[in-house]
Structure 1
Amino acid sequence: MTFQGAYTALVTPFKNGEIDQDAYRELIEWQIEQGIDGLVPCGTTGEAATMTHEEQGEVIRICVEQAKGRVPVIAGAGSNNTKEAVNLTLLAKEAGADAALQITPYYNKPTPAGLLAHFKALSKEASMPFILYNVPGRTGLNAMPETIAMIANEVSDVIGVKEATGNLSQVSDVIEQCPEDFSVFSGDDFTVLPLLSLGGCGVISVVSNIAPKMMADMCAAFKAGEIKKAQELHFKMQPLNRVMFVETNPIPVKTALGMMGKLETSFRLPLVPLMPESEATLKATLSKCNLV
């Protein structure tokens, strides 16, 4: 399977502290109707860090079940504990996910040799396609291009990376040094278009939770050589990209979906609702972009 285009890092709707299955299924259906290329449950945006393993398996299963094979599902299954990452990956595999998003172990700050050993163990115990997730702002560890290339060359299951450094020079080095068929996704909505121009394959996006058609259309326009259209969509989304990070993700995007009537705005601690001034800024931006 080829992974490319716009993938949504799905939020997880909650109601009375529990997973809101109905709202989640409706959100997935709307995403597919809007033309999204793929779905990513149980990532950072999905608040996977607050879920039990049982809940994570349930969320992935619901996503796969609702997608019905219409779009690929890349399930978040990473951990800073290799054994736990293996168990989560087995859950994703059992649920029918097409690939697993594997964050680099956070807090531990492993060496390049440790990262390689982590992915080798994952491949040995729970083999399936892996997308390495490099997000130093969350993990405290930046997997450098030469490290990613080493892992890609030595662990065949590692078929791509979600690059969330925001550093286009580093992204360029990753694309240059990794195998030709290695998929490089943007992990920052601000950098999707420039990453595509370097040879990236798409994005795992926060903003596509609220604007799936725009993000999918931008990726499709670039692929079709319609550069002017892609640029127009890029700049049209920039106000949304900025406001989605007015506070910690996924607080703004979940609040936006609540304003749009897609779900109940509910978080699990330690995340809390937007500050009033941020909420006003968000509402004004959504209104300007004709989303509310």
Structure 2
Amino acid sequence: MTELNLKGIIAYPVTPFSACGERIDGDTLGLLIDRLIDSGCHAIAPLGSTGESAYLNDKEWDEVAERSLSQVNRRVPVIVGISDLTTQNAIRRARFAQAHGADAVMVLPVSYWKLSEREIYRHYSRIAQAIDIPIMLYNNPATSGVDMSPELIARIVREVDNVTMVKESTGDIQRMHRLAQLSDRRIPMYNGSNPLALEAFAAGAVGWCTAAPNLIPALNLRLYEAALAGDLQQARDLFYRQLPLLQFILKGGLPTTIKAGLTLCGIDAGVPRLPLEALDEAETERLAAILDTLR
């Protein structure tokens, strides 16, 4: 397995749709990816929650994965979200991502029936056995219905060779502290909860997985750089400046708020796919006012 020393701002692009929402807008997807790379983001992560992966059929998923990897063209690492309800299709997606040049895949165990720890463990093990690239374990019970304990996460990372990174998105900073304790701080941790960015860096997170660079890349990057340099005062100032936006996009749903923000920035990425709805007029005005303070 190839090692991946991933650090910094891992940016999550939206998946743009045509005006009627019936097809993927590949040209705009390419534009958004170029924009994120040109802004200085350290990696691109298509097909996460921001990319509406759960709302794409397999043909569309393949199209977005292939187009994203081709567009990045090895300029920065790419981590493809391959999560699916079934282990079988997660493996199919993982193999597709690897075959098309992904540097790593991200796995969120999505559930309809409540999964046991044994089932979660085997889900990761079977995916890992099918590919030769690193896996980022993703814990986000708010979207997946599955909450993995720090003890289970540490066990999976310790025992499943390909699982080398953890994205923690519960919004509970104690999870990161517990993972650090359980692993003697050997597990590379990535923050997935935007409002916890400052605390996560202080807790030892080596990266921030976020959709915010679609709208405010310079502020996100400056916060990471200040945290990396140990400049707590500057990091705190930068964090509090962008916090209203980070709170807004989390509360309003990432595909909905990021697409609305892109429209305000002059980029038409379409609207979210139903049953998600576009941001209403009042909330769009509120988002515009927040963005105005950050320009």
- Asked if these proteins are the same fold (TM beyond 0.5), I'd say yes
Which amino acid in the other structure matches residue 225 of structure 2? A
Alignment check: 8 A CA contact 1:192 1:202 kept: no
Q: Which moved more, 1:15-24 or 1:254-263?
A: 15-24
For the residue of structure 2 that corresponds to 1:161, the secondary structure is strand
Aligned residue for 2:6?
Answer: 3
Residue aligned with 2:254, SS: coil
Alignment pair present for 1:196 and 2:201: yes
Letter in 1 for 2:18: K
For residue 224 of structure 1, what is the aligned residue in structure 2? Answer: 229
* Residue pairs, 1:13-92, within 5 angstroms: 13-16=16-19, 17-92=22-97
Q: Distance in 2 between the 1:154 and 1:87 partners?
A: 22
TM-score under structure 2 length normalisation? 0.94
What's the TM-score, normalizing by structure 1? 0.95
CA distance in 2, matches of 1:171, 1:107: 26
- The more displaced of 175-184 and 32-41 is 175-184
5+ unaligned residues in a row in structure 1: which ranges?
none
Aligned to 1:132: 137
Aligned counterparts of 1:52 and 1:127: Cα–Cα separation in 2: 25
Shift of 1:275: 2.2
Q: Deviations over 1:90-131 (max 9, x none)?
A: 111112110001002322321111111111111112332101
In structure 1, which of residues 258, 263, 266 is the aligned counterpart of residue 263 of structure 2?
258
C-alpha RMSD of the superposition: 1.5
In 1: Cα distance, 2:75 partner to 2:90 partner: 27
List per-residue Cα deviations over 1:146-187 (Å, max 9, x = no partner): 000110011011111111100011121012213644221111
- Quick one: which amino acid aligns to residue 287 of structure 2? L
d(CA) in 2 for partners of 1:110, 1:248: 25
| In structure 2, C-alpha distance between the alignment counterparts of 1:5 and 1:81, rounded to whole Å | 31
Whole-angstrom CA distance in 2 between matches of 1:54 and 1:74:
19
Question: Runs in 1 of length 4+ with deviation above 6 angstroms?
Answer: none
The alignment covers a number of residue pairs equal to 290
Q: How far is the alpha carbon of 1:77 from its aligned partner?
A: 0.3
Summarize deviations over 1:12-50 as a string: whole Å, max 9, x none: 111142111111111111111111111100011001111
- Which amino acid in the other structure matches residue 9 of structure 1? Y
**How far apart in 2 are the matches of 1:220 and 1:90?**
34
Shift, 1:264, TM fit: 3.5
Residues 106 and 138, structure 1, Cα contact 8 Å, conserved in 2: no
Q: 1:131·1:162 contact (CA, 8 Å) conserved in 2?
A: yes
Report the equivalent of 2:245: 240
| Amino-acid identity (%) | 28
Q: 2:191 aligns with which of 180, 183, 186?
A: 186
Distance (Å, rounded) in 1 between the aligned partners of 2:43 and 2:111? 26
The 3-state SS of whatever aligns with 1:162 is strand
Q: Are residues 1:99 and 2:98 paired?
A: no
Residue number in structure 2 paired with 1:149? 154
Distance 1:278 1:15, change over 3 A: same
Deviation at 1:253, TM superposition (A): 1.0
Asked if structure 2 preserves the Cα contact closer than 8 Å seen for 1:35 and 1:216, the reply is: yes
Is the alpha carbon distance of 1:112 and 1:246 closer, same or farther for their aligned partners in structure 2, counting shifts above 3 Å? closer
User: Which sits farther off after the overlay, 94-103 or 173-182?
Assistant: 173-182
Contact 2:256–2:271 (8 Å) recurs in 1: no
After alignment, is 220-229 or 65-74 more displaced? 220-229
Q: Could you say what secondary structure the match of 1:87 adopts?
A: helix
* Conserved? CA contact 2:179–2:185, under 8 Å: no
Residue in 2 aligned with 1:267?
A: 272
The answer on 1:176 being equivalent to 2:181 is yes
Give the aligned partner of residue 167 of structure 1: 172
Greater shift, 274-283 or 232-241, is seen at: 274-283
